């Protein structure tokens, strides 16, 4: 029994010793792992530091290397007077945020390295630090105040409306799905009134045709602007939200249905000048179409553009319009070629509320044309002419002297041109003319001749009543004997039914 107890005791002792040796082995292993962990922490701290330096370095180098892709740099310089203000605002913001970016990233990676886990070190517990909180609230507050005030001052300058008596042109842009409809005021400088209820396919802007301000307004395909002249753009939308965006001029304004907005700006560089600047950049010295050996360079083909900067639907991208900034002379020449939308598209149609009435603009343009023809006929140019050429020059049609069908009653509108003719005859007291009436060849020739004679007599009587001596006016009815055009078509016959006069002498 005693032997058994002693044996078991020895066995227990052996087991205890074995376990103790195992424990110290485990302890040694744990110590080794700690060393490994510490080594890893040191290594990762260093990698953090290297990565931080690399990241900040890359940001600075790339910002410099690709600066030409930023607004206000390289080929993206502004082409308007206020554009430089906005660009400098972006630069100031970029400077401050850049400083903050670099400093916070230095701190971030430095701290990751400096405060890596080290055996025996213990984190300090800070519940509160007034100084720190004052510093990180005050500095951003001061910087933000500075940025906001600078921005507000710039905003007030850029968004200022035209002042009373300011020399400017006013145009209008209406956004709809999917295009910009442009309108210019024409010679009177006034954009006529609009009423959305009048919008039809024929009247896309709902212009009110009883408003004379609309008579000379025109709708061009391209936006032309004279350089150095202030432009006020009225901006409106017809359906959904659009945005009038001229990136090169730093112009961007929402087009809101039912709520007119505007933007005032002054283009400072013509399209040609901007192209010349782009020429200095290699990215613009590539052929526009590389497959075409004749292709022009990108800078030569450059154009300013108007876009829509509001995602307004599936064809949003197609709201592009070309913008051309030109010299005043080129602008005037372009203006002279534009046709009034009303006079070219609406005038005389059933939708024209002025149908059958002469407009003041028409009366004065008829007067100018008549005066010009008479002056041309009276001035001796010195160029020798054949008798036929001379007859053509000295025979002047009175297109706006008309009669009611088949009778010798003048239409009410005929008075305007007849008054103009009376004025000319009173201005040139020596002028002797032959007034002739002509018909087409429809009907009895003798009856036509009588009718044309009666009509010429009516014209003569009208002029005599206006103080022109009857001896200077010879009234003749030619019937259909002197057609001006063919009698086989309606248009030709219409040209043949006419009243004209021929200058006989001016001595
Ligand atoms: Cu749009």
255 Cα: distance to centroid of ligand 1 (angstroms):
9
320 Cα: distance to centroid of ligand 1 (angstroms):
9
313 Cα: distance to centroid of ligand 1 (angstroms):
7
Long-range contacts of 376-382 (CB under 8 A, 24+ apart): 377/503, 378/428, 378/431, 378/503, 378/506
* Sheet with 251-255, edge to edge strand ranges: 223-226, 321-326, 304-308, 242-246, 251-255
177 Cα: distance to centroid of ligand 1 (angstroms):
6
Q: What percent of the chain has pLDDT over 90?
A: 37
231 Cα: distance to centroid of ligand 1 (angstroms):
22
245 Cα: distance to centroid of ligand 1 (angstroms):
10
124-169 pLDDT per residue, tens: 888 889 999 999 899 999 999 999 999 999 999 888 888 888 889 9
- pLDDT of 28 higher than 80: no
253 Cα: distance to centroid of ligand 1 (angstroms):
12
- pLDDT of 53 higher than 90: yes
305 Cα: distance to centroid of ligand 1 (angstroms):
14
Q: What one-character-per-residue DSSP string does 85-130 give?
A: HHHHHHHHHHHHHHHHHHHHHHHHHHHHHHT---TT------S--H
With H, G, I as helix, E, B as strand and everything else as coil, classify residue 36. Answer: helix
pLDDT grade, residue 29 (50/70/90)? confident
pLDDT grade, residue 46 (50/70/90)? very high
431 Cα: distance to centroid of ligand 1 (angstroms):
62
223 Cα: distance to centroid of ligand 1 (angstroms):
17
Nearest CA to 158 among 110, 91, 87, 238? Answer: 87
234 Cα: distance to centroid of ligand 1 (angstroms):
16
pLDDT grade, residue 49 (50/70/90)? very high
77 Cα: distance to centroid of ligand 1 (angstroms):
25
| Residue 14 burial (C-beta neighbours within 10 Å; 0-12, 13-18, 19+) | exposed
pLDDT grade, residue 231 (50/70/90)? very high
498 Cα: distance to centroid of ligand 1 (angstroms):
52
321 Cα: distance to centroid of ligand 1 (angstroms):
12
307 Cα: distance to centroid of ligand 1 (angstroms):
8
108 Cα: distance to centroid of ligand 1 (angstroms):
44
309 Cα: distance to centroid of ligand 1 (angstroms):
7
Distance separating the N- and C-terminal Cα atoms of the chain: 172
310-338 pLDDT per residue, tens: 998 888 998 999 999 999 999 999 998 99
Query: pTM for the full model?
Result: 0.70
218 Cα: distance to centroid of ligand 1 (angstroms):
22
238 Cα: distance to centroid of ligand 1 (angstroms):
10
37 Cα: distance to centroid of ligand 1 (angstroms):
60
76 Cα: distance to centroid of ligand 1 (angstroms):
23
Rounded distance, CA 471 to CA 395, Å? 19
250 Cα: distance to centroid of ligand 1 (angstroms):
18
The pLDDT of residue 484? 86
Rounded distance, CA 485 to CA 110, Å? 96
Number of Cβ atoms within 10 Å of the Cβ of 103: 11
The pLDDT of residue 269? 93
Task: Tell me the average pLDDT of the chain.
Answer: 89
- DSSP class of residue 300? T
326 Cα: distance to centroid of ligand 1 (angstroms):
26
236 Cα: distance to centroid of ligand 1 (angstroms):
11
368 Cα: distance to centroid of ligand 1 (angstroms):
44
Rounded distance, CA 187 to CA 207, Å? 17
175 Cα: distance to centroid of ligand 1 (angstroms):
6
- pLDDT of 50 higher than 90: yes
318 Cα: distance to centroid of ligand 1 (angstroms):
9
163 Cα: distance to centroid of ligand 1 (angstroms):
30
Mean pLDDT calculated for residue range 100-121? 89
181 Cα: distance to centroid of ligand 1 (angstroms):
11
479 within 8 A of 449, measured Cβ to Cβ: yes
Residue 357 contacts by C-beta under 8 Å, 6 or more apart in sequence?
413
With H, G, I as helix, E, B as strand and everything else as coil, classify residue 478. Answer: strand
Instruction: For Cα atoms 411, 416, 417, give the angle at the middle one, nearest 5 degrees.
Output: 95
157 within 8 A of 168, measured Cβ to Cβ: no
217 within 8 A of 206, measured Cβ to Cβ: no
Task: Give the residue with greater pLDDT, 182 vs 405.
Answer: 182
Rounded distance, CA 16 to CA 395, Å? 140
Q: What percent of the chain has pLDDT over 70?
A: 100
311 Cα: distance to centroid of ligand 1 (angstroms):
6
186 Cα: distance to centroid of ligand 1 (angstroms):
26
Q: What one-character-per-residue DSSP string does 121-187 give?
A: ------S--HHHHHHHHHHHHHHHHHHHHHHHHHHHHHTPPPPTT--EEEEEEEEETTEEEEEB-TT
The pLDDT of residue 227? 93
244 Cα: distance to centroid of ligand 1 (angstroms):
8
- pLDDT of 295 higher than 90: no
240 Cα: distance to centroid of ligand 1 (angstroms):
8
Nearest CA to 503 among 424, 414, 441, 439? Answer: 424
- pLDDT of 24 higher than 80: no
Mean pLDDT calculated for residue range 15-27? 83
413-451 pLDDT per residue, tens: 888 888 998 899 898 888 899 999 999 888 888 888 999
Residue 183 contacts by C-beta under 8 Å, 6 or more apart in sequence?
171, 172, 173, 174, 191, 205, 217, 218, 219, 341
The pLDDT of residue 38? 84
479 Cα: distance to centroid of ligand 1 (angstroms):
61
Task: Give the residue with greater pLDDT, 164 vs 223.
Answer: 223
Size of the chain in residues: 507
239 Cα: distance to centroid of ligand 1 (angstroms):
10
227 Cα: distance to centroid of ligand 1 (angstroms):
27
Task: Give the residue with greater pLDDT, 382 vs 480.
Answer: 480
Rounded distance, CA 418 to CA 476, Å? 17
353 Cα: distance to centroid of ligand 1 (angstroms):
32
The pLDDT of residue 170? 92
Rounded distance, CA 142 to CA 136, Å? 11
């Amino acid at each position: 029994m005693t032997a058994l107890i002693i044996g078991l005791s020895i066995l227990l002792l052996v087991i205890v010793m074995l376990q103790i040796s195992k424990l110290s082995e485990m302890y040694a292993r744990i110590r080794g792992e700690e060393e490994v962990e510490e080594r890893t922490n040191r290594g990762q701290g260093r990698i953090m530091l290297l990565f931080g330096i690399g990241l900040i370095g890359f940001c600075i180098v790339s910002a410099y290397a690709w600066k030409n892709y930023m607004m206000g740099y390289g080929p993206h310089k502004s082409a308007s007077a206020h554009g430089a203000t906005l660009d400098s605002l972006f630069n100031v913001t970029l400077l401050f945020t850049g400083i903050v970016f670099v400093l916070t990233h230095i701190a971030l990676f430095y701290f990751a390295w400096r405060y890596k886990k080290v055996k025996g070190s213990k984190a300090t517990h800070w519940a509160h630090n007034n100084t720190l909180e004052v510093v990180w609230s005050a500095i951003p507050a001061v910087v933000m105040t500075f940025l906001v005030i600078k921005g507000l001052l710039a905003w007030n300058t850029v968004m200022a409306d035209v002042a009373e008596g300011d020399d400017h042109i006013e145009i209008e842009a209406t956004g709809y799905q999917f295009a910009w409809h442009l309108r210019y005021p024409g010679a009177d400088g006034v954009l006529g009134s609009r009423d959305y209820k009048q919008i039809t396919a024929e009247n896309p802007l709902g212009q009110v045709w009883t408003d004379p301000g609309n008579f000379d307004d025109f709708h061009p395909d391209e936006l032309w602007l004279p350089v150095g002249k202030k432009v006020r753009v009225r901006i409106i939308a017809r359906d959904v939200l659009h945005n009038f965006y001229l990136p090169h001029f730093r112009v961007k304004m929402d087009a809101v249905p039912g709520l007119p907005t505007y933007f005032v700006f002054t283009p400072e560089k013509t399209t040609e000048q901007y192209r010349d600047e782009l020429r200095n950049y290699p990215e613009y010295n590539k052929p526009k179409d590389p497959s075409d050996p004749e292709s022009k360079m990108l800078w030569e083909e450059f154009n300013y553009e108007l876009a829509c900067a509001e995602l307004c639907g599936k064809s949003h991208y197609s709201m592009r319009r070309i913008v051309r900034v030109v010299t005043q002379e080129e602008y005037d020449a372009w203006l002279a070629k534009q046709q009034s939308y009303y006079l070219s598209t609406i005038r005389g149609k059933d939708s024209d509320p002025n149908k059958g009435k002469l407009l003041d603009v028409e009366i004065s343009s008829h007067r100018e044309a008549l005066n010009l023809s008479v002056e041309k006929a009276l001035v001796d140019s010195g160029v020798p002419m054949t008798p036929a050429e001379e007859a053509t020059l000295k025979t002047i049609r009175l297109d706006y002297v008309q009669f009611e069908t088949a009778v010798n009653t003048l239409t009410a509108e005929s008075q305007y041109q007849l008054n103009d003719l009376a004025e000319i005859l009173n201005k040139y007291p020596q002028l002797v003319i032959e007034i002739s009436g002509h018909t087409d060849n429809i009907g009895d020739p003798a009856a036509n001749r009588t009718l044309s004679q009666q009509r010429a007599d009516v014209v003569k009587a009208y002029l005599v009543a206006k103080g022109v001596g009857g001896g200077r006016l010879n009234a003749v009815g030619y019937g259909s004997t002197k057609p001006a055009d063919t009698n086989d078509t309606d248009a030709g016959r219409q040209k043949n039914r006419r009243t004209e006069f021929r200058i006989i002498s001016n001595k």
